[in-house]
Every structure is written in structure tokens, then in C-alpha cells.
Amino acid sequence: MSDDSTTADSRTPAGRERVALDARQRGLDIEIVERPAADSLESAAALLGVQPSDIVKSLVVKRHDGDYLFALIPGDRQISWSKLRALVGVNKLSLPSPEAALEATGYERGTITPLGSSTALPVFADERMTGRRVALGAGEHGYSLFADADPLLASLTATVADISDPLKPRA
């Protein structure tokens, strides 16, 4: 591996390299593509040639005890806190600060993916992901990864359930 594949502040591989290595170790077939920045879900979907529902948000969620988990939510939906709390069996969940999410995963917001996360966290995925080819963060800004959801979720030992609600229209 060349020196330019490591981050300037550590000796760990850069985000997309960690993603690719983890995918290989799991036997997953993924594709990492470079993409320009987008200002909305719809423009991101258009740039990637997919529907907004095919873009999956990888959210880091903090449990009340300080532990974290991943929630994978289709782009055209939002996390259902009540459904996720019931599934996890806790009374309180929240989104951590960007700094805490980075510390928990090794990825900045907007690049987060369970693949290559610096900490192995339990994964909870919305059932609407199954049977699709999806796009997720690839560990670095300016890149997305494509994967078939079913083998991805199986390799992550994800709990698959209804954990989302339709997005509320913006006022």
C-alpha cells in the first residue's frame, strides 16, 4: 500500500481503503465510485443514477448506556425512533455529536458506513433495503459505494426490520 493511502494524522488506511479491505474480507462484491458533491438527496440520486430510496443513510445512534449502533435507513425515509427503541429494547436513543460519531466509527458524517468502521457496532437495517442494489457512504467525502443489500446485510449480521417512517414534507 502506498503512503498516500493513509490519513495524514494516523497510520490507518484512508476511509475508502478500509471499506474495500473489509468488503474483501467479508467476500462482498462492492463498487466504489467517485462522485461530485450534491446539495440534496434528489441531486445525489441523479448523480449516481439511482432512485432516492436506493441511497442508504448510515446513521450512528447512541444508546442511553453510551454504546453505539448503526441504523441503515433508505434515503427517502427517516429513522423511526419509537420503532428502533422498541426493537433495541431501550427507552432512549439519540444521534451523537459529529465528533462522537467520528470517534466511534473512524468516519466523518456524510462518509459513514459499517464497512471498515473502527469499532464493530451492531447493525439495524430498514427492511425496505432488501432485494435492492444500494448506495452508501464509502468512508471518504466524494465517494459512494454500491452493494447488493442482501449479501451486505448478511455479512454485517444486521437485524432487519421496519425501523423507518416516510420523510415529513419540508415546510
CA-to-CA distance for 135 and 31, rounded, in angstroms? 9
pLDDT for 73-121, tens place per residue?
A: 999 999 999 999 999 999 999 999 999 999 999 999 999 999 999 999 9
Q: Write out the three cell numbers for 95.
A: 444521534
| Range 122-141 average pLDDT | 97
Residue 62, C-beta contacts closer than 8 angstroms, at least 6 positions apart: 68, 93, 94, 95, 96, 100
**Per-residue confidence (pLDDT) for residue 7, from 0 to 100:** 36
Task: Name the amino acid, one letter, at 81.
Answer: W
**Per-residue confidence (pLDDT) for residue 171, from 0 to 100:** 62
**Is the model's pLDDT at 151 over the cut of 50?**
yes
For the chain, the average pLDDT equals 91
Using pLDDT thresholds of 50, 70 and 90, give the confidence band for residue 33: very high
**Is the model's pLDDT at 164 over the cut of 80?**
yes
CATH code, residues 10-166? 3.90.960.10
Percent of the chain with pLDDT over 90: 84
**Is the model's pLDDT at 9 over the cut of 60?**
no
| Range 123-151 average pLDDT | 97
Residue 75, C-beta contacts closer than 8 angstroms, at least 6 positions apart: 41, 44, 45, 52, 53, 54, 55, 56, 57
**Per-residue confidence (pLDDT) for residue 8, from 0 to 100:** 38
**Is the model's pLDDT at 1 over the cut of 50?**
no
List the domain boundaries for the chain: 10-166
